[in-house]
Every structure is written in C-alpha cells, then in structure tokens.
Amino acid sequence: MSERPPKNICLMGSTGSIGRQAIDVITGSRNFRIVSMSAHSNTSLFTKQIKKIKPETACITNSEAFKKYGRTTAGPTKIFPPEKLSALCSDKKIDIVLAGSSGSSALIPILDALSKGKTVAIANKEPIVMAGDILCAAAKKHGGKILPVDSEHSAVFQCIENSKAPAEKIYITASGGAILGAGRKKISPEFILAHPVWKMGKKITVDSSTGMNKGLEVIEAHHLFAMDFSKIKVLLHPKALIHGMVEFADGSVSAYLSAPDMRIPISYALNYPQKMKMRNFMDFSNMNLTLEKYPAEKFICFKLALEAGKKGGLYPASLVGANETAVSAFLAKRIPFARIAHIIKKTLSETPDMRYNIPNVLRIEKWAKEYAEKLIK
Ligand code: NDP
Ligand code: MG
C-alpha cells in the first residue's frame, strides 16, 4: 500500500506551551513535516528547535529579537523578519497552519491563510474572539477550514461531528483555576501560576484564574459553532476530564472525555478526521466525575467577557487589549490581582464606537492596551 505524503505544517509559536507540545505530536508521526515555524523572542530555544527540525523557513516575530539574532540562515533554514509571517503561513506548500502563538498578532496571518483556502488549526483564541465573524466569513468564502485546538472546542466539535443532528445547546467545562480554593490568601503571580490541572503559558494561566479564559472561550464557541450566547453554558468540573458536551433536540447529550493533555486536541486537529495512536488511556474503574454550576459571581472577568461578547462589534477587541495589558502588569507585580477586572471594566466602558472591520479591530485593540496602561500608571 502506498504511503500518503506527509502534510506540510506551518507552526506559529513553536517556543510556547502549545508549540512545544505540537512539536512532540508532529515529530512522533510520519504524517507531518514542519515546513515553517515562528517564535517571538525566545531565540535560544528557537535555535535549538530549528537545528532539530530543520524547517525550510522560520520567522522571528519580534523585531528587536530578529535584529539581535543577526542571521538570515541557520543551517538549511532561511530566517525571516516579522513582516514575512503572513507569506510563510499562506505559502502554497502549506497544508495546515497551526496557530499556537499567544495574543492578537497572528490575526492577519490567520486571515490571510484562510483567504488562501488553508486549514488553520487554531489554539490562539484571541484572534477569533476579536474578529470571529470576519475569520469565519473568510474561511467560508475561500474554502478555508478552522479546526479548534482549544480542548473544550475540540470536544464540542467532535460531539457535533459524530452526530448527524444539529446541536441545540453546548456546554464547556471549567476547572476553576487557582483561586477557587484560595480563601483569603494573598494572590500573587507565583500562586496563580501553580495552576492545578493544565500546564500552560503564563497569560492563559492568569486568564483561567480570573475567569477571563472561560469568557473568551464562550465567545470563541459562539463564533466556531455559530451558536447564540444563550445556548452556550459553562459548568465547573475541577478534574478536567469532560471537556465539552452537546445537547440535541431529543434531550440526549453527548460528552467528550479525555485526559487533560493538549497533545490530544492538537493531534486531532492535525489528523482530522482521523485519530492518531497515542498513549492516553483513562481508567474508569474509580472515577468520580462532578459537574456543578459555574460560580460566575466569583469571576468578574468572566462576566465582563460575556458582556463584551454579547455587545459584539469592537468590544471583544477592546476586551482582549485591556486584558493583555492588565495581565502583564499583574505578572510584573505592578498591580494586584483584583485590579485586573477594574482596568478591563473601565477600558470597556470608554471604548470608542467605530465600524467593525479589520483595521478598526486592530486599532481598538491597540487603543485599549494604551488606555489600560494609562490607568495602571
Ligand atoms: P505561551 O506563552 O506558552 O507561548 C506563546 C507563544 O507565542 C510563544 O511561542 C511565544 O514566543 C509566542 N508569542 C508571544 N508573544 C507574541 C507576540 N506578540 N507575537 C507573536 N508571537 C508571540 O502560550 P500558550 O502556548 O499557553 O498559548 C498560546 C495560545 O494558545 C494562546 O492564545 C492560548 O490562549 C491558547 N491556548 C493555550 C492552551 C495551553 O494549554 N497552553 C490551551 C488552549 C488554548 P516566545 O516564547 O519566543 O517569545
Ligand atoms: Mg480551553
């Protein structure tokens, strides 16, 4: 039997938590080849990755780091500056773009790739939150495909894919982040980063504790599954084994379970619609699964995200910008944990009214970062 040629992957954010796990999945399979990859500022890890993987092209997305790197080749790999990222993602050779960078900077590369009809496996949630309508419309118009990597969305996607009936309601689960059991402890970055279930990048770990991550995920689900906000429910599930559920017209519910290991949704998005052999088997003989009401009252950022998502337009971009600045300030110990929500709330309330399009989405996100920074100073 003749083997299929490997799929060519462009991996954005190779040095991050998602990127490193994606490399694990990809290098463990003959079905894929990383043709291009990007990192932002961690050039020492990036150099090691390039040496091992030998992609054809690589991009350093931080201009300072690119200048400091000072070379345009590393072995057989050509190294490009930030402005080349879109071209690398949209290159005709690429079959799948895996968006694993953090923040909003991959928005244009993702949009360009979808506009070229590419498949984008998307972990990077900020671009969907900010411009989900535009990205989904571009995919539809040009035959591109958005495959979710975020574990809850991968779960819901698979429940929907496996049923021929439309979803009536979807549920995503939340493990609760670090602060649920914190009591009156001082909430420091060190405390928050010791997240109980998932090992992730710093920003998303803080987002999980403020409730922002779940709020962003509800907006993400709204776009990915074209589902009204009233039909997207969040449940508290500290064990993080059930990631998503879908309810159908007859009241039956499909649930998706897996170990809390991001390599599973990463590998599913890359292998879709197939599943790749992995060693992640669950032991059901002593499993106590609890699902509870999500305590939204404890998570002000969750509520702020939901409000911004429901208002739509440029509010989600303002939310993403303000949150990014507030979370960086918290991690740098410039503000206490409780101020994150205040800064986002104030920024949202002052968000200028403009038309919803890509230039304005980017403009408002930048404005929100600057406005939030002024509130911090
Ligand atoms: P990390 O902080 O671990 O990694 C971020 C990656 O993006 C690194 O490669 C980093 O490069 C790069 N990066 C940082 N800033 C920029 C920038 N301004 N422009 C371009 N690239 C940048 O994050 P995670 O891997 O945890 O998360 C990545 C994305 O995936 C986020 O959007 C997150 O919400 C989402 N996600 C993550 C999950 C997880 O388990 N980690 C689960 C579900 C979703 P460098 O290190 O070289 O500076
Ligand atoms: Mg998630």
**pLDDT tens for each residue of the chain, 377 residues long:** 457 899 999 999 999 999 999 999 999 899 999 999 999 999 999 999 999 999 999 999 999 999 999 999 999 999 999 999 999 999 999 999 999 999 999 999 999 999 999 999 999 999 999 999 999 999 999 999 999 999 999 999 999 999 989 999 999 999 987 777 666 567 899 989 986 677 899 999 999 999 999 999 999 999 999 999 999 999 999 999 999 999 999 999 999 999 999 999 999 999 999 999 988 788 889 888 999 999 999 999 999 999 999 999 999 999 999 999 999 999 999 999 999 999 999 999 999 999 999 999 999 999 999 999 999 98
**318: which residues sit within 8 A by CB, 6+ positions away?**
308, 347, 348, 351, 364, 365, 367, 368
Q: What is the pLDDT of residue 194?
A: 84
Q: Within 10 A of 162 (CB to CB), how many other CB atoms are there?
A: 10
User: What is the fold of 7-148?
Assistant: Rossmann fold (3.40.50)
Pocket test for ligand 1, best of 101, 323, 365 (most atoms within 8 A of CB): 101
Q: Which ligand is nearest to the CA of 42?
A: 1
User: Using CA positions, which residue lies closest to atom 2 of ligand 1?
Assistant: 201
Tokens of 217: 């995920």
State the closest ligand 1 atom to the C-alpha of 38, by its place in the atom list counted from 1: 9
Tell whether domain 300-377 is in CATH 1.10.1740.10. yes
pTM score, two decimals? 0.97
Ligand 2 geometric centre to CA of 209 (Å): 12
State the closest ligand 1 atom to the C-alpha of 14, by its place in the atom list counted from 1: 9
| DSSP codes, 341-362 | HHHHHHHHHTPPP---SHHHHH
Ligand 2 geometric centre to CA of 36 (Å): 25
Q: Which ligand is nearest to the CA of 153?
A: 2
Tokens of 72: 């345009």
| Start and end residues for every CATH 3.40.50.720 domain found in the chain | 7-148
Pocket test for ligand 1, best of 10, 12, 14, 17 (most atoms within 8 A of CB): 17
| Start and end residues for every CATH 1.10.1740.10 domain found in the chain | 300-377
Tokens of 180: 């649920």
Ligand 2 geometric centre to CA of 125 (Å): 9
User: Which residue matches tokens 């709020």?
Assistant: 215
The residues lining ligand 1, judged by C-beta closer than 6 Å to any ligand atom, are 13-19, 39-42, 61, 100-103, 105, 123-126, 150, 198, 200-204, 262
Q: In what order do the strands lie in the sheet with 73-74?
A: 73-74, 77-80, 57-60, 32-39, 7-12, 96-99, 119-122, 145-148
For strands 242-247 and 253-257, give the pairing.
antiparallel
User: Which residue matches tokens 């507030």?
Assistant: 326
Pocket test for ligand 1, best of 11, 15, 18, 320 (most atoms within 8 A of CB): 18
Amino acid at 276: M
